[in-house]
């Protein structure tokens, strides 16, 4: 076999291997994303524990918060352990959280099991997988990250109906136990092939000069002193607030503002979830091939246009479909823009620590977004004003982007 043929075979094998990690990553993310199906259990839990909607939302809110916090923590120690070990730890924490949740007797214990333990497990596994994928795809970092995150975004489409069926047949607590036992078997098995690429793996990847990672590699302290960090961080908060707030209001806006039937709105929500998933690889590709700044400006522009459509055409049902598809699409997009921007602006060497810090913005945005969806209705008394608020946030984001986000000059 000639040298060129040998190189071709090596390259093909490497390509199969790294795209295999994408498939595994999507599958694991699909299971981790079950945390987003909490709404399936929420009403039943309110009856079981005799609580209102404010308290019943605590486990979900804590899950989102600890998911972000553990992304920050694991980023500091990721290099000290084999990635398979860390994914195993995250997977087992997720499994244990569901199993323990089946035995709780009040919402506060559920907040610890489902929220704290489960959120921590998701954050650990999520962070490690994203770091592995980024290292295997220096030439397609945004697209690859977005594809893996597609599993996280589409998870409710698969896991919510499954969980709902289990609840109907067995009950909420029994469903927690079934899912926990299943995860304890599936997640460790899926984690076994994962590893970081070696130098020989990376040298076979043809990376276009225009698409290479920056030659500088900023430490976390150096990153946090840059203007671009402020821009990415604040915009990630704004994008998350807008996305999660409007996702929380999707059903009520459809029924009360657009006067649609509840069954119709439920059908549309499944449709919107597809756009949430598709937003991740789409914006990942845009950030890869154009720029972080362009992707952010495009996201806010789409949000402003969709909000204006809602304000001026509130009686047209197809406007509801178009606008909320855009809102869900953009929340998914931000979960690809943020990691890709972190890579492109601040380099690969300290990516796990750097993105751990950047991802805390999602935790802040998640808490504010989830809480504000109900509070803003009480404050404004009418849905229309919420979309003026969204336009205001998006406009602030555009200003921050223009002022702060630019290529790092340090080499």
**What is the domain-level CATH number for residue 379?**
1.20.1250.20
Per-residue pLDDT at 319 exceeds 90: yes
Q: Output the pLDDT for position 4.
A: 53
What does the block give as tokens for 191? 């984690």
**48, 193: one domain:** yes
Of 158, 175, 203, the residue at which a domain comes to its end is: 203
Q: Who has greater pLDDT, 75 or 410?
A: 75
The stretches of 290-315 forming alpha helices (DSSP H) are 292-312
**130, 274: one domain:** no
What does the block give as tokens for 20? 């295999």
**192, 274: one domain:** no
- Out of 72-86, 203-217, 232-246, the most confident range is 232-246
Give a yes or no: residue 171 inside a domain.
Answer: yes
Give a yes or no: residue 410 inside a domain.
Answer: no
**9, 154: one domain:** yes
Any idea which residue has 């992707």 for tokens? 295
Per-residue pLDDT at 209 exceeds 50: no
What's the 3-state SS for 73-120?
A: HHHHHHHHCCHHHHHHHHHHHHHHHHHHHCCCCCHHHHHHHHHHHHHH
Give a yes or no: residue 279 inside a domain.
Answer: yes
**198, 218: one domain:** no
CB atoms inside a 10 Å sphere around CB 203: 12
d(CA 52, CA 15): 51
Given a contact cutoff of 8 angstroms between Cβ atoms, the answer to whether 308 and 391 are in contact is: yes
Closest CA to 79 of 362, 354, 340: 354
Given a contact cutoff of 8 angstroms between Cβ atoms, the answer to whether 228 and 405 are in contact is: yes
Give a yes or no: residue 411 inside a domain.
Answer: no
d(CA 70, CA 112): 15
d(CA 191, CA 10): 24
Residue 302 is part of which domain span? Answer: 213-404
Given a contact cutoff of 8 angstroms between Cβ atoms, the answer to whether 156 and 44 are in contact is: no
Of 153, 169, 203, the residue at which a domain comes to its end is: 203
pLDDT per residue as tens digits for the range 125-177: 988 998 888 888 887 878 888 889 888 888 878 887 888 889 889 999 999 99
**168, 93: one domain:** yes
**138, 285: one domain:** no
Mean pLDDT value across residues 98-121: 96
**186, 230: one domain:** no
What does the block give as tokens for 37? 């199906």
Give, as one character, the DSSP assignment of residue 137.
-
Helix, strand, coil percentages for the chain (3-state, nearest 5)? 85, 0, 15
Given a contact cutoff of 8 angstroms between Cβ atoms, the answer to whether 277 and 135 are in contact is: no
Report pTM: 0.80
d(CA 202, CA 107): 48
Of 175, 203, 231, the residue at which a domain comes to its end is: 203
Per-residue pLDDT at 212 exceeds 60: no
**352, 225: one domain:** yes
CB atoms inside a 10 Å sphere around CB 143: 23
Any idea which residue has 């914006």 for tokens? 283
% residues pLDDT > 70 (the chain) = 91
pLDDT per residue as tens digits for the range 344-374: 889 888 888 898 899 899 888 888 887 776 6
Any idea which residue has 């509801």 for tokens? 320
Mean pLDDT value across residues 209-218: 60
The 3-state DSSP class for residue 315 equals coil
Per the structure, the count of domains in the chain is 2
The 3-state DSSP class for residue 316 equals coil
Closest CA to 361 of 270, 232, 253: 232
């Amino acid at each position: 076999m000639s040298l060129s043929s040998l190189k071709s075979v090596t390259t093909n094998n490497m390509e199969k291997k790294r795209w295999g990690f994408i498939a595994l990553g999507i599958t694991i993310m699909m299971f981790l994303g079950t945390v987003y199906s909490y709404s399936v259990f929420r009403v039943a839990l309110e009856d079981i524990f005799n609580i209102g909607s404010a308290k019943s939302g605590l486990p979900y809110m804590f899950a989102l918060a600890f998911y972000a916090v553990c992304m920050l923590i694991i980023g500091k120690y990721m290099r000290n352990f084999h990635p398979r070990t860390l994914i195993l730890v995250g997977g087992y924490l997720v499994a244990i959280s569901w199993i323990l949740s089946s035995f709780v007797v009040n919402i506060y214990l559920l907040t610890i099991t489902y929220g704290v333990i489960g959120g921590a497990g998701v954050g650990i596994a999520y962070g490690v997988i994203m770091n592995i994928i980024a290292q295997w795809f220096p030439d397609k970092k945004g697209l690859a990250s977005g594809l893996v995150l597609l599993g996280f975004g589409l998870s409710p489409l698969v896991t919510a109906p499954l969980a709902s069926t289990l609840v109907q047949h067995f009950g909420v607590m029994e469903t927690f136990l079934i899912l926990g036992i299943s995860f304890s078997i599936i997640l460790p098995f899926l984690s076994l092939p994962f590893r970081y690429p070696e130098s020989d793996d990376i040298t076979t990847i043809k990376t276009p000069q225009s698409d290479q990672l920056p030659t500088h590699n900023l430490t976390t302290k150096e990153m946090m002193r840059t203007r671009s960090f402020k821009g990415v961080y604040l915009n990630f908060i704004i994008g998350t607030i807008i996305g999660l707030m409007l996702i929380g209001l999707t059903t009520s806006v459809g029924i009360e503002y657009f006067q649609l039937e509840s069954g119709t709105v439920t059908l549309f929500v499944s449709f919107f979830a597809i756009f949430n998933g598709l937003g991740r690889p789409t914006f990942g590709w845009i950030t890869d091939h154009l720029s972080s700044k362009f992707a952010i400006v495009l996201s806010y522009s789409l949000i402003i246009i969709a909000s204006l459509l809602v304000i001026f055409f509130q009686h047209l049902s197809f406007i509801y479909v178009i606008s909320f598809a855009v809102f869900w699409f953009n929340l998914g997009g931000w979960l690809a823009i943020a990691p890709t921007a972190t890579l492109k602006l601040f380099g690969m060497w300290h990516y796990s620590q750097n993105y751990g810090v950047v991802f805390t913005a999602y935790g802040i945005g998640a808490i504010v977004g989830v809480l504000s969806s109900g509070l803003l209705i009480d404050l404004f008394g009418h849905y229309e004003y919420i979309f003026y608020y969204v336009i205001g946030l998006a406009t602030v984001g555009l200003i921050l982007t223009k002022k702060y986000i630019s290529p790092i000059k340090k080499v």
